[in-house]
A and B are shown apart, each in its own frame.
Chain A
Amino acid sequence: MTASVDIGAVTLTYRGASGGVLALQDTTLNIQRGEFAAVVGPSGCGKSSLMKLVTGLVPPDSGEIVIFGDKVHGPVKIAGMAFQNPNLLPWRKVIDNVLLPLEIVRPHREQFRRRKQEYREKARALLKTVGLDGFADRFPWELSGGMQQRVSLCRALIHEPALLMLDEPFAALDAFTREELWCVLRDLWQKLSFTVILVTHDLREAAFLADTIHVMSARPGRIVLSKKVDLPRPRDLDICYEPQFTNIVHELRAKIAEVRKA
């Protein structure tokens, strides 16, 4: 397999009025094409910063990032992103929120007017796969938090990005909705086979979804453990109660407790 995301010894410092903050130091991470990677670690260790580096929104002080063979200079222009907050545009209907990336990403933006009908069909189909059949013409504020988060996922995927970046996308949801959306994400990933980097605080979420789980140390963040999850796919929610699964979660928990103390 070829590496799709190659993070080589990056260091990142935020400069502020009261001195700099060293967020990441010598962080090295490799993610294969089509792999589902999860990043976990203590709060403030630089997970979100890592996401910004990978998408080219922030340049590193040193080290380099290579995505699909190209060195990252500016914003990568292809990644789909979703955060804890759905960040939908309240003046656009759900379907027009989902279509937003197609108005921006090349080559779709040039074809947007011409192929509008086709794009709308595609958006409707995507909304259907996340269980939002019939909500395309509602406004975001007519939807519950979990439904908005589904829309946000659709928006991140409509342009079929090769790379999906998720920063705690399910953190604000209740346990049932969260598990439901795990399955939604699992199915989308199995169907569309993109590369995912998922930042999360939920170790069960990481173990259920990911191929590899990377544990970061406290600030300045480094990868201290990369754990392969060898559970068979397709995975069902029941797997969360198997001893093999629980063992992985325990091991991760112990590691994080250790780095937090250090």
Chain B
Amino acid sequence: MTATLEKLSPWLFTIGIFVFWEAVCRVFKVDKFILPAPSEAFMAMAQYWRPLLRHSLVTLWTTMAGFALAIVFGIVLGLIVGWSRTIYRGLYPVMIGFNCIPKVAVVPILIMWFGIGEIPAILTAFLISFFPIVVNVATGLATMEPELEDVLRALGASKLDIMLKVGIPRTQPYLFGSLKVAITLAFVGTVVSETVGANAGLGYQIALSGSTFQMPLVFAALLLLAIEGIAMYAAFAYVEVYFTRWAFRSSMSAAAQ
């Protein structure tokens, strides 16, 4: 009984929020130019499904492209940073500084360099999402048990041996844990870029409909964005459990969260 309730609870809460939202809009007769009711947003979704689908797909693929870049770059940089303390100390302030720059401020530069279109969106998604990956991969390497390292070194293991046999496998839960966070950031990056300058994508749709006061359509696009985000998060959460089942069972699971 409680188990099924727990399984259903995400759905119940989601429906509950929509019902509440709908009720507030109706009871207080909220103007739909200010806050459209969910029913109006869903109606707009049905009415404009063709352009919305097209824009959703554009946002999805640009996000995934940027995210793929972030994974590759994040793993490589994370391994480099985790490899040596000197590099770690040298690069860390630079990376923190870079991460503090609001990516909205970078988008106009990217548009100047690459023109309006999908490339700035891909790059913004990449720039915003690689940081957590780097930090997690580097943390996975840096938190290796010193005694285990001693055991291996006393056998004549080189630093590369230790990396391959212990460092990289033990980084996996940290990496997969970071992916589900990073993917949601990547969506933020894409949409920010599309809102500033693009001719397709959900961010573009939001900016366009907003400027013509089609609020139900704006909310329809926002909802689609949330759905894409949840779907990708769920996908990567699944991948995480699948590849690092051992970490969920052993004591490392606490560290990987």
Q: Is the CB of B155 within 8 A of A90?
A: no
A77 touches B156 (CB 8 A): yes
User: Contact at A57–B154, with CB atoms within 8 Å?
Assistant: yes
**B154, A81: Cβ atoms closer than 8 Å:** yes
Which residues of the other chain, A, contact B161 by a CB distance below 8 angstroms?
Answer: 104
How far, in angstroms, from A79 to B156 measured CA to CA in the complex? 9
Residues of B within 8 A of A197 (CB): none
Name the distance in Å between A92's Cβ and chain B's nearest Cβ.
8
A132 in the interface, Cβ–Cβ < 8 Å?
no
Indicate whether A141 reaches chain B with its CB closer than 8 angstroms.
yes
Instruction: Write the B148-180 contact mask toward A (1 if CB under 8 angstroms, else 0).
Output: 101111111100010001100110100000000
Flag if A91 contacts B156 (CB, 8 Å).
no
Q: How far is the CB of B157 from chain A (nearest CB, A)?
A: 5
What's the dominant secondary structure at chain A's contact region? Answer: loop
Could you say which of B165, B170, B172 contacts A100, with CB atoms under 8 Å apart?
Answer: B165
A87 cross-chain contacts in B, Cβ below 8 A: 145, 147-148, 151
Residues of A200-230 whose CB lies within 8 A of B: none
| Alpha-carbon gap, A91 to B165, bound state (A) | 11
B226-257 interface with A by 8 A CB criterion: 244, 246-247, 249-252
A-B contact count (CB 8 A): 77
Report, as a range, how many residues of chain B touch the other chain.
20 to 34
B155 touching A139, Cβ below 8 Å: no
Query: Which residue from chain B places its CB closest to the CB of A163 in the assembled complex?
Result: B154
In angstroms, how far is the closest chain A Cβ from the Cβ of B168?
11
Q: How far is the CA of A56 from the CA of B155 in the complex (A)?
A: 11
CB distance from A226 to the nearest CB of B (A): 24
A52 at interface by CB-CB < 8 Å: yes
Known A-B contacts A55-B154, A104-B156; the reply to A89 vs B166 at CB < 8 A is: yes
Count chain A residues whose beta carbon lies closer than 8 angstroms to a beta carbon of B: 31
Residue-wise, chain A 66-104 has the 8 Å CB interface mask toward B (1 for contact) of 000000000111111111010101110000000011011
**Cβ contacts under 8 Å, B155 to chain A:** 77-80, 101, 104-105, 159
Question: Within 8 Å CB of A106, what residues of B?
Answer: 156
Q: Contact: B157 with A83, CB < 8 Å? A: no
Q: Are A52 and B169 in contact (CB under 8 A)?
A: no
Assess whether A40 is interfacial by the CB under 8 Å rule.
Answer: no
Q: Beyond A81-B150, A87-B147, A90-B249: 20 further Cβ-contacts under 8 Å? A: A52-B150, A55-B154, A75-B153, A75-B154, A76-B154, A81-B151, A83-B147, A87-B145, A89-B166, A89-B169, A90-B246, A91-B170, A91-B244, A91-B246, A101-B155, A104-B155, A104-B165, A139-B250, A156-B151, A165-B154
User: Mind listing 24 A-B residue pairs with CB under 8 Å?
Assistant: A52-B150, A55-B153, A55-B154, A57-B150, A75-B153, A75-B154, A76-B154, A76-B156, A77-B154, A80-B154, A81-B150, A83-B150, A83-B151, A85-B145, A85-B147, A87-B145, A87-B151, A90-B247, A90-B250, A104-B152, A105-B156, A106-B156, A141-B246, A141-B249
Q: Which residues of A contact B (CB under 8 A)?
A: 52, 55-57, 75-83, 85, 87, 89-91, 100-101, 103-106, 139-141, 155-156, 159, 165
